[in-house]
Amino acid sequence: MSAPTTTARLQDDGTGIDQARTPLADLLREEVAAAARWTVPGHMGGRCAPVEALDLLGTRVHAADLWPDQALFTDALLASEELAAQAWGADRAFLLTAGATSGNLAWIFATLQPGDTVVVDSACHVSVLTGLALRAGVRPVWIQRDIDAELGIPLPIDPAVLARVLREHPEARQVVVTSPTYSGTASPLATLADLTHAAGAVLYVDAAWAPHGRWVPGGALDPMAAGADGAVVSLHKTGAALSGAAVLQVGAGLGGHLRRQLVRTVEGLRSTSPLLPVLVSSDLARAAMATAGADGLRRAEELADDLRARCDRVPGVRVLRRDDAGTGPSLLADPMKLVLDVQGTGHTGFAVQRLLRAGGAIVEGADLQRLYLVLPAWVPPGRYPGDLSAQLAAHEALVRAFDAAVAIPPSRGAGLRLSPTVWAASRGRQVMAPAQARAAATVDVPLHEAAGRVAAEHAAPYPPGVPVWVPGEEITEAAVTIVRDVLAAGGEIHGPSDVTGATVAVLT
């Protein structure tokens, strides 16, 4: 399939492309009207679905999950992708139904070849690690992120560090960074793009957390405006789309060969039976966000301020704000991520998360000291604040659950903190490429005996999901300490096949 250009397919009358258009939703409206079908999926629009599935998921979900006319679908998908490209300032966009995960994998498979060196942000998501481990012969060089001594969250990438790494590795073909991070740290993307391009490499930004970034004033969360060659956003994270919805974006600078490779790879990796409700929800979410623009985000921020003010009044809970960050505005730059320091409650973040859940309030994530709440980036116009009573009632429910939680005596692991020094020492020497380590013979050893061995799998406390070791790297004492402390306090480590964390797979 050749890459159509936005202006060729969508008629721009000079006043701009109409972002209110929703080609996939229009197609679905036509298709659901058909009286009968004999196509996949076999639930036949819900007529042959288990009654429990209809009760729980609703008849509309089944009716919308259909296989449309192929030619009409291809046309509608391309038109919707062109609108998405225009909305996010990209040259080309792909709508994905398996999350930013599939965007990261497609990007790595398409743009890196065996023997390539790639500079990778240590705050990368597990999907990037998986891509690197599966792409044989690719050699990652890591940019280690320090954490803020006071707030304990990852600092932005220092351009001087990237410049040094690129000087030391003039063969590097690509730079992959995460911005914003899970905790909302933005890196100076325009400067990173300039440095990367000057070194003859391409810049890819995993912006999964900021589908709203395009409309945040100042451009700190807008990879395409910064000159990135590729980026991905998870439209389901703070946008209004269904789970799995993501947009892979291609910048104008990505050349012909790599671009063709990307088109082929995305086509190859996407299912031949995509979940239409997810694509339609992407179409509608894009239209909603792009037409509301900065106004929509302002309403979302007002709602966020209401929640911040309420959390501020809970004893022992501290709302982290951009102004608290001694290192400048790039920490906590994502307005849609609410980070609460709960050390003052005498509990770990993990314990408060569990207590809140018992009280009926569910938050996105927790670590030793903090809770992370995702806020909705799109607030319907004309409906604020009256019709948002349900959202405001949820704010009250959270505060009630908090009040009950902080009244409970201190919990196991309270007071444990991630030390910046231990963190800085956590990554070990890279002994071999991840793909080579992944294919090697392994043995499981107890966690306390893992230091000094070469890792076969990665391990990342989640959140923030930043690995403390990756396949092919020597495991350090500091990394073992971090894993032990997080597990002791009831947290999660992603990566090891032994999910209890008691043993670690290392090379024989």
Ligand X SMILES: Cc1ncc(COP(=O)(O)O)c(C=O)c1O
**Closest distance to ligand X from the beta carbon of 216 (Å):** 17
Minimum separation from the CB atom of position 16 to ligand X (A): 29
Which residues of this protein are in contact with ligand X, per CB under 6 A?
A: 99-101, 125, 127, 178, 182, 206, 208, 234, 246, 465
- Tell me how far apart the alpha carbons of residues 34 and 58 are, in angstroms, rounded to a whole number: 19
Q: Is the peptide bond prior to 463 cis by the omega test (within 30 degrees of 0)?
A: yes
The residue among 86 and 101 lying less far from ligand X, judged by its C-beta, is: 101
What residues does 205 pair with on adjacent strands?
177, 231
Q: Which is nearer to ligand X, 100 or 192 (CB)?
A: 100
Q: Token pair for residue 135?
A: 């792409």
CB-based contacts of 355: which residues, under 8 Å, 6+ apart? 347, 401, 404, 405, 408
| Greatest CA separation for the chain | 67
DSSP letter at 410 equals P
Nearer to ligand X, 375 or 454 (CB): 375
State in angstroms the smallest separation of the CB of 99 from ligand X.
2
> Shortest gap between Cβ of 236 and ligand X (angstroms)?
6
Of 313, 337, 325, 117, the closest CA to residue 211 belongs to 337
Which of 83, 242 has the CB closer to ligand X?
A: 242
Cα separation, 414 vs 57, in Å, equals 40
Cβ-proximal residue to ligand X, closest one? 99
User: Beta strands 202-206 and 230-234: pairing type?
Assistant: parallel
Residue with smaller CB distance to ligand X, 124 or 303: 124
Which residues have a Cβ under 8 Å from the Cβ of 225 and sit 6 or more positions away?
A: 89, 190, 214, 219
Closest distance of CB 48 from ligand X, Å: 30
CA dist 171 and 138 (Å) reads 12
Report cis status (omega within 30 of 0) of the bond before 464. yes
Shortest gap between Cβ of 277 and ligand X (angstroms)?
A: 16
Integer Cα distance of 161 and 123 in angstroms: 14
Q: Which residue, 209 or 215, is less far from ligand X as judged by CB? A: 209
CB of 138 to ligand X, least distance (A): 18
C-beta of 126 vs 311, nearer to ligand X? 126
3-state secondary structure (DSSP) of residue 414: coil
Is the CB of 196 or the CB of 234 nearer to ligand X?
Answer: 234
Please report how close the Cβ of residue 146 comes to ligand X at its closest, in angstroms: 18
CA-derived radius of gyration, the chain? 23
Which lies closer to ligand X via its Cβ, residue 465 or residue 467? 465
How far is the CA of 262 from the CAs of 140, 177, 249, in angstroms? 20, 18, 11
Taking the mean position of all CA atoms in its chain, how far away is CA 201? 23
**Minimum distance from residue 234 beta carbon to ligand X (Å):** 4
